[in-house]
Structure 1
Protein backbone atom coordinates (compact mmCIF):
# COMPACT_ATOMS: atom_id res chain seq x y z
CA UNK A 1 0.00 0.00 0.00
CA UNK A 2 1.21 3.50 -0.82
CA UNK A 3 0.97 6.56 1.38
CA UNK A 4 -2.51 8.06 1.02
CA UNK A 5 -1.35 11.48 -0.17
CA UNK A 6 0.73 13.03 -2.92
CA UNK A 7 3.71 11.24 -1.37
CA UNK A 8 2.39 8.05 -2.93
CA UNK A 9 1.82 9.45 -6.42
CA UNK A 10 3.74 8.40 -9.52
CA UNK A 11 4.08 9.42 -13.16
CA UNK A 12 5.25 7.08 -15.91
CA UNK A 13 5.72 7.78 -19.61
CA UNK A 14 6.31 5.84 -22.82
CA UNK A 15 6.59 6.74 -26.49
CA UNK A 16 3.63 5.55 -28.57
CA UNK A 17 4.10 3.68 -31.83
CA UNK A 18 0.82 5.13 -33.10
CA UNK A 19 -1.23 8.05 -31.84
CA UNK A 20 -3.45 7.16 -28.91
CA UNK A 21 -2.40 3.51 -28.68
CA UNK A 22 -1.42 2.46 -25.16
CA UNK A 23 2.20 1.59 -24.41
CA UNK A 24 3.09 0.50 -20.89
CA UNK A 25 5.29 3.13 -19.21
CA UNK A 26 8.93 2.20 -18.81
CA UNK A 27 10.32 5.51 -17.60
CA UNK A 28 9.22 7.28 -14.44
CA UNK A 29 9.82 10.98 -13.85
CA UNK A 30 10.08 12.77 -10.55
CA UNK A 31 7.69 15.70 -10.79
CA UNK A 32 6.70 18.58 -8.55
CA UNK A 33 3.21 19.23 -9.89
CA UNK A 34 0.84 18.00 -12.59
CA UNK A 35 -2.60 18.96 -13.87
CA UNK A 36 -3.37 16.29 -16.48
CA UNK A 37 -7.09 15.64 -16.65
CA UNK A 38 -9.84 14.37 -18.91
CA UNK A 39 -12.03 17.10 -20.35
CA UNK A 40 -15.44 16.16 -21.67
CA UNK A 41 -18.04 18.09 -23.63
CA UNK A 42 -21.63 17.20 -22.91
CA UNK A 43 -24.99 18.04 -24.42
CA UNK A 44 -28.28 17.96 -22.54
CA UNK A 45 -31.61 17.33 -24.18
CA UNK A 46 -34.01 20.28 -24.00
CA UNK A 47 -37.02 18.37 -25.24
CA UNK A 48 -40.39 19.45 -23.86
CA UNK A 49 -42.44 16.82 -22.07
CA UNK A 50 -45.71 17.67 -20.32
CA UNK A 51 -45.22 18.10 -16.59
CA UNK A 52 -41.47 17.42 -16.60
CA UNK A 53 -39.72 20.07 -14.52
CA UNK A 54 -36.16 18.74 -14.70
CA UNK A 55 -34.03 17.48 -17.56
CA UNK A 56 -33.66 13.70 -17.78
CA UNK A 57 -30.29 12.28 -16.78
CA UNK A 58 -30.65 9.65 -19.52
CA UNK A 59 -30.74 12.40 -22.13
CA UNK A 60 -27.36 13.87 -21.34
CA UNK A 61 -24.64 12.67 -23.72
CA UNK A 62 -20.87 13.03 -23.98
CA UNK A 63 -20.12 14.45 -27.43
CA UNK A 64 -16.32 14.73 -27.24
CA UNK A 65 -13.42 13.84 -24.97
CA UNK A 66 -9.85 15.09 -24.76
CA UNK A 67 -6.98 15.53 -22.32
CA UNK A 68 -5.27 18.74 -21.27
CA UNK A 69 -2.80 19.69 -18.59
CA UNK A 70 0.83 20.13 -17.67
CA UNK A 71 3.73 18.56 -15.81
CA UNK A 72 6.17 20.64 -13.78
CA UNK A 73 9.49 19.10 -12.83
CA UNK A 74 13.14 19.66 -12.11
CA UNK A 75 15.36 18.93 -15.12
CA UNK A 76 17.56 16.04 -14.04
CA UNK A 77 20.72 14.32 -15.25
CA UNK A 78 18.77 11.22 -16.33
CA UNK A 79 15.40 10.31 -17.77
CA UNK A 80 14.54 13.48 -19.73
CA UNK A 81 14.91 12.09 -23.25
CA UNK A 82 11.30 11.12 -24.00
CA UNK A 83 9.97 14.53 -23.02
CA UNK A 84 12.65 16.35 -25.02
CA UNK A 85 11.96 14.17 -28.06
CA UNK A 86 8.22 14.83 -27.87
CA UNK A 87 8.94 18.57 -27.67
CA UNK A 88 11.57 18.91 -30.39
CA UNK A 89 10.38 16.27 -32.87
CA UNK A 90 13.61 14.53 -33.91
CA UNK A 91 13.79 10.76 -33.48
CA UNK A 92 16.87 10.45 -31.32
CA UNK A 93 19.25 7.56 -30.69
CA UNK A 94 21.74 8.31 -27.90
CA UNK A 95 25.31 8.27 -29.21
CA UNK A 96 27.96 6.65 -27.04
CA UNK A 97 30.91 8.94 -26.41
CA UNK A 98 34.09 7.00 -27.24
CA UNK A 99 33.93 3.81 -25.12
CA UNK A 100 32.56 5.52 -22.02
CA UNK A 101 29.20 5.30 -20.24
CA UNK A 102 28.32 8.79 -21.51
CA UNK A 103 25.63 9.03 -24.20
CA UNK A 104 24.71 12.20 -26.10
CA UNK A 105 21.18 12.95 -27.25
CA UNK A 106 20.85 15.74 -29.83
CA UNK A 107 17.25 16.94 -30.10
CA UNK A 108 17.15 19.16 -33.19
CA UNK A 109 13.98 21.09 -34.02
CA UNK A 110 11.78 19.08 -36.39
CA UNK A 111 8.15 18.19 -37.04
CA UNK A 112 6.36 16.55 -34.12
CA UNK A 113 4.18 14.40 -36.39
CA UNK A 114 4.01 10.91 -34.91
CA UNK A 115 5.53 12.00 -31.61
CA UNK A 116 3.01 11.19 -28.88
CA UNK A 117 3.26 9.75 -25.40
CA UNK A 118 1.32 7.51 -23.10
CA UNK A 119 1.39 9.17 -19.68
CA UNK A 120 0.19 7.12 -16.74
CA UNK A 121 -0.29 8.68 -13.34
CA UNK A 122 -1.02 7.01 -10.06
CA UNK A 123 -3.23 9.04 -7.73
CA UNK A 124 -3.47 7.74 -4.15
CA UNK A 125 -6.71 7.46 -2.26
CA UNK A 126 -6.44 8.27 1.44
CA UNK A 127 -6.57 4.52 2.06
CA UNK A 128 -3.26 4.12 0.24
CA UNK A 129 -4.81 2.47 -2.81
CA UNK A 130 -3.32 4.12 -5.90
CA UNK A 131 -5.78 4.70 -8.73
CA UNK A 132 -4.73 4.57 -12.36
CA UNK A 133 -5.30 7.34 -14.87
CA UNK A 134 -3.66 6.59 -18.20
CA UNK A 135 -3.62 9.43 -20.73
CA UNK A 136 -3.29 8.41 -24.37
CA UNK A 137 -2.07 10.41 -27.35
CA UNK A 138 -0.31 13.09 -25.33
CA UNK A 139 1.47 15.63 -27.51
CA UNK A 140 3.65 18.43 -26.17
CA UNK A 141 2.24 21.81 -27.16
CA UNK A 142 4.85 23.89 -25.31
CA UNK A 143 7.66 23.66 -22.80
CA UNK A 144 9.34 26.34 -20.71
CA UNK A 145 12.69 26.00 -18.96
CA UNK A 146 13.85 28.42 -16.29
CA UNK A 147 16.70 28.87 -13.82
CA UNK A 148 17.75 31.83 -11.68
CA UNK A 149 20.14 32.64 -8.87
CA UNK A 150 20.02 29.94 -6.21
CA UNK A 151 17.49 27.84 -8.13
CA UNK A 152 17.29 24.49 -9.85
CA UNK A 153 16.65 24.22 -13.56
CA UNK A 154 12.93 23.58 -13.95
CA UNK A 155 10.73 22.63 -16.86
CA UNK A 156 6.99 22.93 -17.47
CA UNK A 157 5.53 20.79 -20.27
CA UNK A 158 2.03 21.50 -21.61
CA UNK A 159 0.10 18.63 -23.19
CA UNK A 160 -2.89 17.95 -25.39
CA UNK A 161 -4.14 14.36 -25.35
CA UNK A 162 -6.70 12.06 -26.93
CA UNK A 163 -8.31 10.12 -24.08
CA UNK A 164 -8.08 8.88 -20.51
CA UNK A 165 -8.12 5.12 -19.88
CA UNK A 166 -8.69 4.03 -16.27
CA UNK A 167 -8.67 0.32 -17.04
CA UNK A 168 -4.94 -0.25 -17.43
CA UNK A 169 -2.70 -1.92 -14.87
CA UNK A 170 -0.67 0.62 -12.95
CA UNK A 171 3.00 0.06 -13.76
CA UNK A 172 5.39 -0.48 -10.86
CA UNK A 173 7.43 2.70 -10.60
CA UNK A 174 11.21 2.53 -10.43
CA UNK A 175 13.66 5.38 -10.22
CA UNK A 176 17.36 5.71 -10.92
CA UNK A 177 19.51 7.95 -8.77
CA UNK A 178 18.87 11.31 -10.43
CA UNK A 179 20.28 14.75 -9.62
CA UNK A 180 18.90 18.12 -10.83
CA UNK A 181 20.79 20.66 -12.88
CA UNK A 182 21.11 23.97 -11.01
CA UNK A 183 22.31 27.58 -11.09
CA UNK A 184 25.80 26.67 -9.92
CA UNK A 185 26.27 24.74 -13.18
CA UNK A 186 24.74 27.39 -15.45
CA UNK A 187 26.49 29.30 -18.23
CA UNK A 188 25.14 31.66 -20.87
CA UNK A 189 27.05 32.45 -24.05
CA UNK A 190 26.35 34.76 -26.98
CA UNK A 191 28.11 35.72 -30.21
CA UNK A 192 28.76 34.12 -33.58
CA UNK A 193 27.27 30.66 -34.00
CA UNK A 194 29.82 28.05 -33.02
CA UNK A 195 32.10 30.60 -31.35
CA UNK A 196 29.89 31.97 -28.57
CA UNK A 197 31.57 33.44 -25.48
CA UNK A 198 30.43 33.74 -21.86
CA UNK A 199 28.19 36.69 -21.05
CA UNK A 200 28.68 38.33 -17.64
CA UNK A 201 25.98 39.61 -15.30
CA UNK A 202 23.21 37.08 -16.05
CA UNK A 203 21.01 36.33 -13.05
CA UNK A 204 18.15 34.35 -14.56
CA UNK A 205 17.27 32.78 -17.90
CA UNK A 206 14.02 31.38 -19.25
CA UNK A 207 13.31 29.82 -22.65
CA UNK A 208 9.88 28.81 -23.95
CA UNK A 209 9.32 26.65 -27.03
CA UNK A 210 5.77 26.51 -28.39
CA UNK A 211 4.56 23.90 -30.90
CA UNK A 212 1.23 25.23 -32.27
CA UNK A 213 -1.12 22.47 -33.45
CA UNK A 214 -4.69 22.06 -34.59
CA UNK A 215 -6.12 20.23 -31.58
CA UNK A 216 -9.74 20.40 -32.81
CA UNK A 217 -9.68 17.44 -35.20
CA UNK A 218 -12.96 15.91 -34.05
CA UNK A 219 -14.63 13.98 -36.88
CA UNK A 220 -17.47 11.54 -37.39
CA UNK A 221 -16.55 7.86 -36.96
CA UNK A 222 -14.09 8.68 -34.15
CA UNK A 223 -16.32 7.86 -31.13
CA UNK A 224 -16.05 11.43 -29.76
CA UNK A 225 -12.23 11.34 -29.83
CA UNK A 226 -9.87 13.49 -31.87
CA UNK A 227 -7.39 12.47 -34.52
CA UNK A 228 -3.73 13.36 -34.07
CA UNK A 229 -3.21 17.14 -33.95
CA UNK A 230 -1.41 18.64 -36.94
CA UNK A 231 1.06 21.52 -36.75
CA UNK A 232 -0.70 24.63 -38.00
CA UNK A 233 1.73 27.48 -37.36
CA UNK A 234 5.44 28.17 -37.13
CA UNK A 235 7.30 27.27 -33.95
CA UNK A 236 7.57 30.12 -31.46
CA UNK A 237 10.68 30.47 -29.30
CA UNK A 238 10.83 33.25 -26.73
CA UNK A 239 12.65 33.93 -23.51
CA UNK A 240 14.13 36.43 -21.12
CA UNK A 241 17.51 37.30 -19.65
CA UNK A 242 17.51 38.94 -16.23
CA UNK A 243 20.83 40.67 -15.59
CA UNK A 244 22.88 43.27 -13.84
CA UNK A 245 24.01 46.03 -16.18
CA UNK A 246 27.69 45.07 -16.27
CA UNK A 247 28.24 45.55 -20.01
CA UNK A 248 26.44 46.97 -23.04
CA UNK A 249 26.48 43.75 -25.09
CA UNK A 250 22.75 43.05 -24.84
CA UNK A 251 21.83 46.73 -24.84
CA UNK A 252 23.72 47.24 -28.12
CA UNK A 253 21.99 44.25 -29.70
CA UNK A 254 18.63 45.69 -28.68
CA UNK A 255 19.48 49.10 -30.13
CA UNK A 256 20.77 47.75 -33.46
CA UNK A 257 18.27 44.88 -33.63
CA UNK A 258 21.32 42.75 -34.24
CA UNK A 259 21.36 38.96 -34.27
CA UNK A 260 23.29 36.77 -31.90
CA UNK A 261 23.57 33.06 -31.29
CA UNK A 262 22.63 32.09 -27.74
CA UNK A 263 23.86 29.02 -25.86
CA UNK A 264 22.40 28.25 -22.43
CA UNK A 265 24.02 25.29 -20.80
CA UNK A 266 24.41 23.34 -17.58
CA UNK A 267 27.49 21.19 -17.05
CA UNK A 268 27.15 18.68 -14.24
CA UNK A 269 29.27 15.90 -12.82
CA UNK A 270 31.89 14.05 -14.81
CA UNK A 271 30.59 10.81 -16.34
CA UNK A 272 33.85 9.52 -17.75
CA UNK A 273 36.96 10.89 -19.44
CA UNK A 274 36.14 14.37 -20.81
CA UNK A 275 32.38 13.83 -20.84
CA UNK A 276 30.07 15.52 -18.35
CA UNK A 277 26.36 15.50 -17.60
CA UNK A 278 25.00 18.24 -19.86
CA UNK A 279 21.81 20.08 -20.65
CA UNK A 280 22.36 22.63 -23.44
CA UNK A 281 19.93 24.79 -25.41
CA UNK A 282 21.36 26.32 -28.59
CA UNK A 283 19.42 29.06 -30.41
CA UNK A 284 21.47 30.03 -33.49
CA UNK A 285 19.63 33.32 -34.09
CA UNK A 286 18.16 35.50 -31.35
CA UNK A 287 16.89 39.08 -31.51
CA UNK A 288 16.14 41.21 -28.46
CA UNK A 289 12.64 42.66 -28.40
CA UNK A 290 12.64 44.88 -25.33
CA UNK A 291 14.40 45.57 -22.05
CA UNK A 292 16.85 48.49 -22.45
CA UNK A 293 18.21 49.60 -19.06
CA UNK A 294 16.34 52.15 -16.99
CA UNK A 295 17.24 53.64 -13.61
CA UNK A 296 14.52 53.32 -10.98
CA UNK A 297 16.45 53.97 -7.78
CA UNK A 298 19.81 53.93 -6.05
CA UNK A 299 20.52 50.24 -6.60
CA UNK A 300 22.33 48.36 -9.33
CA UNK A 301 20.57 48.69 -12.69
CA UNK A 302 18.95 45.33 -13.50
CA UNK A 303 17.50 45.19 -17.00
CA UNK A 304 15.50 42.20 -18.23
CA UNK A 305 15.93 41.59 -21.94
CA UNK A 306 13.17 39.68 -23.72
CA UNK A 307 14.14 37.83 -26.88
CA UNK A 308 12.75 35.86 -29.81
CA UNK A 309 14.48 32.86 -31.34
CA UNK A 310 14.54 32.81 -35.15
CA UNK A 311 16.08 30.76 -37.99
CA UNK A 312 19.52 31.82 -39.20
CA UNK A 313 18.95 30.14 -42.56
CA UNK A 314 21.27 27.22 -41.85
CA UNK A 315 21.25 25.94 -38.28
CA UNK A 316 18.21 24.69 -36.39
CA UNK A 317 17.69 25.23 -32.64
CA UNK A 318 18.58 22.16 -30.62
CA UNK A 319 18.70 20.75 -27.12
CA UNK A 320 21.68 18.55 -26.28
CA UNK A 321 21.44 16.16 -23.36
CA UNK A 322 24.33 14.04 -22.16
CA UNK A 323 23.69 11.39 -19.55
CA UNK A 324 24.23 7.72 -18.87
CA UNK A 325 20.88 6.85 -20.50
CA UNK A 326 21.49 4.36 -23.27
CA UNK A 327 17.97 4.83 -24.63
CA UNK A 328 15.71 7.84 -24.93
Structure 2
Protein backbone atom coordinates (compact mmCIF):
# COMPACT_ATOMS: atom_id res chain seq x y z
CA UNK A 1 0.00 0.00 0.00
CA UNK A 2 1.30 3.41 -0.93
CA UNK A 3 1.60 6.31 1.47
CA UNK A 4 -1.81 7.56 2.64
CA UNK A 5 -1.37 10.92 0.91
CA UNK A 6 -1.05 9.17 -2.45
CA UNK A 7 -4.01 6.87 -1.90
CA UNK A 8 -7.34 7.56 -3.59
CA UNK A 9 -10.27 6.97 -1.26
CA UNK A 10 -13.42 5.97 -3.16
CA UNK A 11 -16.86 6.71 -1.76
CA UNK A 12 -19.15 4.12 -3.30
CA UNK A 13 -22.92 4.14 -3.90
CA UNK A 14 -25.56 1.78 -2.59
CA UNK A 15 -25.05 0.97 1.10
CA UNK A 16 -28.56 -0.47 1.27
CA UNK A 17 -29.39 -0.53 -2.42
CA UNK A 18 -26.53 -2.87 -3.43
CA UNK A 19 -26.00 -4.80 -0.23
CA UNK A 20 -26.05 -8.14 -2.08
CA UNK A 21 -23.35 -6.95 -4.48
CA UNK A 22 -21.08 -5.70 -1.71
CA UNK A 23 -21.63 -8.93 0.23
CA UNK A 24 -19.90 -10.66 -2.70
CA UNK A 25 -17.41 -7.96 -3.63
CA UNK A 26 -15.95 -7.05 -0.23
CA UNK A 27 -14.64 -10.55 0.56
CA UNK A 28 -12.97 -10.59 -2.87
CA UNK A 29 -11.42 -7.21 -2.17
CA UNK A 30 -10.01 -8.46 1.14
CA UNK A 31 -8.93 -11.94 0.09
CA UNK A 32 -7.49 -11.05 -3.33
CA UNK A 33 -5.99 -7.65 -2.74
CA UNK A 34 -3.49 -8.32 -5.53
CA UNK A 35 -6.39 -8.12 -8.00
CA UNK A 36 -6.93 -4.46 -7.16
CA UNK A 37 -4.86 -1.31 -7.54
CA UNK A 38 -2.67 -0.59 -4.53
CA UNK A 39 -3.11 3.17 -4.91
CA UNK A 40 -6.81 3.17 -3.94
CA UNK A 41 -9.11 1.92 -1.20
CA UNK A 42 -12.75 2.16 -0.09
CA UNK A 43 -13.29 5.33 1.90
CA UNK A 44 -17.00 4.73 2.50
CA UNK A 45 -20.22 3.32 1.11
CA UNK A 46 -23.24 5.62 1.13
CA UNK A 47 -26.99 5.19 0.77
CA UNK A 48 -30.33 5.02 2.56
CA UNK A 49 -33.08 2.46 3.13
CA UNK A 50 -36.60 2.97 1.85
CA UNK A 51 -39.05 5.43 3.38
CA UNK A 52 -36.46 7.86 4.72
CA UNK A 53 -38.12 11.23 4.97
CA UNK A 54 -34.72 12.88 5.39
CA UNK A 55 -33.53 11.25 2.16
CA UNK A 56 -32.45 13.22 -0.87
CA UNK A 57 -30.24 13.00 -3.92
CA UNK A 58 -31.35 10.37 -6.41
CA UNK A 59 -34.62 8.58 -5.74
CA UNK A 60 -33.18 5.12 -5.13
CA UNK A 61 -33.55 3.30 -1.86
CA UNK A 62 -32.69 -0.22 -0.78
CA UNK A 63 -34.57 -2.74 1.30
CA UNK A 64 -31.60 -4.52 2.88
CA UNK A 65 -31.95 -5.20 6.60
CA UNK A 66 -30.26 -2.50 8.66
CA UNK A 67 -28.60 -4.97 11.02
CA UNK A 68 -27.23 -6.96 8.07
CA UNK A 69 -25.80 -3.80 6.54
CA UNK A 70 -24.17 -2.74 9.80
CA UNK A 71 -22.72 -6.23 10.32
CA UNK A 72 -21.21 -6.20 6.83
CA UNK A 73 -19.52 -2.82 7.09
CA UNK A 74 -18.29 -3.51 10.60
CA UNK A 75 -16.78 -6.81 9.46
CA UNK A 76 -14.76 -5.02 6.82
CA UNK A 77 -14.05 -1.85 8.80
CA UNK A 78 -15.73 0.44 6.27
CA UNK A 79 -17.29 3.81 6.94
CA UNK A 80 -21.01 4.04 6.21
CA UNK A 81 -22.73 7.26 5.18
CA UNK A 82 -26.45 7.82 5.45
CA UNK A 83 -27.75 9.88 2.52
CA UNK A 84 -29.98 12.37 4.32
CA UNK A 85 -29.67 15.22 1.83
CA UNK A 86 -33.28 16.38 1.69
CA UNK A 87 -33.07 20.12 1.07
CA UNK A 88 -36.62 21.01 2.17
CA UNK A 89 -36.82 19.74 5.74
CA UNK A 90 -38.84 21.66 8.31
CA UNK A 91 -38.67 21.62 12.10
CA UNK A 92 -41.48 19.08 12.42
CA UNK A 93 -39.56 16.61 10.27
CA UNK A 94 -36.66 16.31 12.69
CA UNK A 95 -38.55 13.97 15.01
CA UNK A 96 -39.05 11.39 12.22
CA UNK A 97 -38.52 8.09 14.03
CA UNK A 98 -36.96 5.93 11.33
CA UNK A 99 -34.17 8.36 10.52
CA UNK A 100 -33.43 8.97 14.19
CA UNK A 101 -33.23 5.24 14.82
CA UNK A 102 -30.79 4.85 11.95
CA UNK A 103 -28.61 7.62 13.33
CA UNK A 104 -28.61 5.97 16.76
CA UNK A 105 -27.50 2.65 15.31
CA UNK A 106 -24.68 4.09 13.23
CA UNK A 107 -23.55 6.48 15.98
CA UNK A 108 -22.64 3.54 18.22
CA UNK A 109 -19.30 3.23 16.46
CA UNK A 110 -18.20 6.77 17.26
CA UNK A 111 -16.32 8.58 14.52
CA UNK A 112 -16.49 5.88 11.86
CA UNK A 113 -19.81 6.65 10.21
CA UNK A 114 -21.31 9.81 8.75
CA UNK A 115 -24.28 11.57 7.20
CA UNK A 116 -24.50 13.30 3.83
CA UNK A 117 -26.57 16.39 4.48
CA UNK A 118 -27.98 19.45 2.69
CA UNK A 119 -30.27 21.18 5.17
CA UNK A 120 -28.59 23.40 7.77
CA UNK A 121 -31.55 22.66 9.99
CA UNK A 122 -30.56 19.00 9.93
CA UNK A 123 -26.86 19.86 10.33
CA UNK A 124 -27.59 21.60 13.63
CA UNK A 125 -29.89 18.80 14.77
CA UNK A 126 -27.31 16.10 14.05
CA UNK A 127 -24.50 18.04 15.72
CA UNK A 128 -26.60 18.32 18.86
CA UNK A 129 -28.10 14.84 18.98
CA UNK A 130 -25.57 12.62 17.18
CA UNK A 131 -22.15 14.28 17.50
CA UNK A 132 -20.52 10.89 16.88
CA UNK A 133 -21.49 11.08 13.20
CA UNK A 134 -19.30 13.11 10.88
CA UNK A 135 -21.00 15.28 8.26
CA UNK A 136 -20.57 15.61 4.49
CA UNK A 137 -21.89 18.61 2.57
CA UNK A 138 -23.98 17.17 -0.25
CA UNK A 139 -23.50 17.72 -3.96
CA UNK A 140 -27.25 18.45 -4.06
CA UNK A 141 -26.35 21.99 -3.03
CA UNK A 142 -25.05 22.40 -6.60
CA UNK A 143 -22.02 24.46 -5.59
CA UNK A 144 -20.93 25.80 -8.98
CA UNK A 145 -19.47 29.09 -7.73
CA UNK A 146 -15.92 28.44 -6.53
CA UNK A 147 -16.00 31.18 -3.92
CA UNK A 148 -19.16 29.70 -2.40
CA UNK A 149 -17.56 26.26 -2.53
CA UNK A 150 -14.47 27.52 -0.72
CA UNK A 151 -16.65 29.08 1.96
CA UNK A 152 -18.31 25.69 2.40
CA UNK A 153 -14.89 24.03 2.76
CA UNK A 154 -14.09 26.42 5.59
CA UNK A 155 -17.17 25.46 7.59
CA UNK A 156 -16.02 23.40 10.60
CA UNK A 157 -19.23 21.36 10.64
CA UNK A 158 -18.18 19.40 7.56
CA UNK A 159 -15.50 16.74 7.26
CA UNK A 160 -16.02 16.60 3.50
CA UNK A 161 -17.63 18.79 0.84
CA UNK A 162 -18.80 17.50 -2.54
CA UNK A 163 -18.77 20.33 -5.10
CA UNK A 164 -20.85 20.33 -8.24
CA UNK A 165 -19.13 18.22 -10.87
CA UNK A 166 -18.59 21.30 -13.03
CA UNK A 167 -15.86 22.47 -10.65
CA UNK A 168 -13.87 19.27 -11.20
CA UNK A 169 -11.47 20.80 -13.72
CA UNK A 170 -11.10 24.32 -12.33
CA UNK A 171 -7.45 23.59 -11.65
CA UNK A 172 -6.35 27.21 -11.41
CA UNK A 173 -8.52 27.60 -8.28
CA UNK A 174 -8.23 24.05 -6.98
CA UNK A 175 -4.44 24.14 -6.79
CA UNK A 176 -4.58 27.32 -4.70
CA UNK A 177 -6.49 25.61 -1.87
CA UNK A 178 -4.65 24.82 1.34
CA UNK A 179 -3.92 21.17 2.11
CA UNK A 180 -6.49 21.27 4.89
CA UNK A 181 -9.10 22.37 2.35
CA UNK A 182 -7.95 19.81 -0.22
CA UNK A 183 -8.36 17.03 2.33
CA UNK A 184 -12.06 17.92 2.58
CA UNK A 185 -12.78 18.02 -1.17
CA UNK A 186 -14.65 15.00 -2.51
CA UNK A 187 -14.98 15.03 -6.30
CA UNK A 188 -17.97 13.47 -8.07
CA UNK A 189 -16.21 11.48 -10.80
CA UNK A 190 -18.74 9.84 -13.08
CA UNK A 191 -21.66 12.23 -13.49
CA UNK A 192 -23.59 11.73 -16.72
CA UNK A 193 -25.72 14.87 -16.37
CA UNK A 194 -25.30 17.37 -19.19
CA UNK A 195 -22.46 19.78 -18.39
CA UNK A 196 -24.64 22.74 -19.33
CA UNK A 197 -27.68 21.63 -17.32
CA UNK A 198 -29.43 24.52 -15.54
CA UNK A 199 -32.07 22.40 -13.80
CA UNK A 200 -29.91 20.23 -11.55
CA UNK A 201 -31.07 21.86 -8.32
CA UNK A 202 -34.72 21.59 -9.44
CA UNK A 203 -34.18 17.89 -10.10
CA UNK A 204 -32.83 17.33 -6.59
CA UNK A 205 -35.65 19.35 -5.05
CA UNK A 206 -38.15 17.16 -6.88
CA UNK A 207 -36.68 14.13 -5.10
CA UNK A 208 -36.80 15.94 -1.76
CA UNK A 209 -40.49 16.75 -2.24
CA UNK A 210 -41.27 13.14 -3.10
CA UNK A 211 -39.52 11.95 0.06
CA UNK A 212 -41.67 14.36 2.05
CA UNK A 213 -44.74 12.67 0.59
CA UNK A 214 -45.79 15.47 -1.72
CA UNK A 215 -47.83 14.39 -4.72
CA UNK A 216 -45.86 15.83 -7.61
CA UNK A 217 -44.90 14.60 -11.04
CA UNK A 218 -41.40 13.42 -11.86
CA UNK A 219 -38.89 16.00 -13.00
CA UNK A 220 -38.46 15.77 -16.77
CA UNK A 221 -34.80 16.02 -17.74
CA UNK A 222 -34.27 18.01 -20.94
CA UNK A 223 -30.75 16.76 -21.60
CA UNK A 224 -30.29 15.58 -25.21
CA UNK A 225 -29.26 12.11 -23.98
CA UNK A 226 -31.82 11.81 -21.17
CA UNK A 227 -34.02 9.28 -22.96
CA UNK A 228 -31.21 6.72 -23.00
CA UNK A 229 -30.68 6.84 -19.25
CA UNK A 230 -27.29 6.59 -17.62
CA UNK A 231 -24.47 5.35 -19.84
CA UNK A 232 -20.97 5.03 -18.39
CA UNK A 233 -19.56 5.44 -21.89
CA UNK A 234 -21.28 8.84 -22.13
CA UNK A 235 -20.18 9.83 -18.64
CA UNK A 236 -16.61 9.22 -19.75
CA UNK A 237 -17.10 11.87 -22.46
CA UNK A 238 -18.37 14.46 -20.00
CA UNK A 239 -15.91 17.38 -19.71
CA UNK A 240 -15.97 16.92 -15.94
CA UNK A 241 -15.29 13.16 -15.96
CA UNK A 242 -12.50 12.01 -13.65
CA UNK A 243 -10.94 8.73 -14.72
CA UNK A 244 -8.19 6.63 -13.20
CA UNK A 245 -5.50 8.36 -15.25
CA UNK A 246 -6.75 11.76 -14.05
CA UNK A 247 -6.65 10.59 -10.44
CA UNK A 248 -3.13 9.19 -10.71
CA UNK A 249 -1.55 11.91 -12.82
CA UNK A 250 -3.41 15.05 -11.74
CA UNK A 251 -5.49 14.87 -8.57
CA UNK A 252 -3.26 12.79 -6.29
CA UNK A 253 -0.13 14.83 -7.16
CA UNK A 254 -2.13 18.00 -6.40
CA UNK A 255 -3.01 16.64 -2.95
CA UNK A 256 -6.64 15.54 -3.50
CA UNK A 257 -7.54 12.07 -2.25
CA UNK A 258 -11.34 11.71 -2.08
CA UNK A 259 -13.47 10.62 -5.02
CA UNK A 260 -17.19 9.88 -5.08
CA UNK A 261 -18.91 7.55 -7.54
CA UNK A 262 -22.58 8.16 -8.20
CA UNK A 263 -24.99 5.36 -9.02
CA UNK A 264 -27.64 4.68 -6.38
CA UNK A 265 -30.35 4.90 -9.03
CA UNK A 266 -28.65 2.41 -11.32
CA UNK A 267 -28.48 -1.38 -11.39
CA UNK A 268 -25.89 -3.55 -9.69
CA UNK A 269 -24.39 -4.58 -13.04
CA UNK A 270 -23.28 -1.02 -13.83
CA UNK A 271 -22.03 -0.55 -10.26
CA UNK A 272 -19.85 -3.59 -10.80
CA UNK A 273 -18.48 -1.93 -13.94
CA UNK A 274 -17.53 1.09 -11.82
CA UNK A 275 -15.74 -1.18 -9.35
CA UNK A 276 -13.92 -2.88 -12.19
CA UNK A 277 -12.88 0.34 -13.93
CA UNK A 278 -11.87 2.37 -10.88
CA UNK A 279 -10.46 -0.30 -8.60
CA UNK A 280 -9.58 -3.52 -10.45
CA UNK A 281 -6.44 -4.27 -12.45
CA UNK A 282 -7.42 -5.07 -16.07
CA UNK A 283 -5.90 -8.55 -15.97
CA UNK A 284 -8.14 -9.52 -13.04
CA UNK A 285 -11.44 -7.97 -14.14
CA UNK A 286 -12.73 -11.23 -15.58
CA UNK A 287 -12.00 -13.06 -12.33
CA UNK A 288 -13.99 -10.48 -10.40
CA UNK A 289 -16.90 -10.71 -12.83
CA UNK A 290 -16.92 -14.51 -12.60
CA UNK A 291 -16.79 -14.45 -8.81
CA UNK A 292 -19.65 -11.94 -8.56
CA UNK A 293 -21.91 -13.47 -11.19
CA UNK A 294 -21.12 -16.96 -9.87
CA UNK A 295 -23.06 -18.79 -12.57
CA UNK A 296 -21.18 -19.06 -15.87
CA UNK A 297 -24.49 -19.95 -17.56
CA UNK A 298 -26.12 -16.65 -16.54
CA UNK A 299 -28.12 -15.06 -19.35
CA UNK A 300 -28.58 -11.31 -19.10
CA UNK A 301 -31.46 -11.26 -21.59
TM-score bracket relative to the smaller structure = under 0.3
Task: Report the TM-score when normalising by structure 1.
Answer: 0.26
Which has a greater percent of strand? 1
Task: Report the TM-score when normalising by structure 2.
Answer: 0.27
Larger Rg: 1
Structure ranking higher on relative contact order (CA contacts 8 Å, 6+ apart): 2
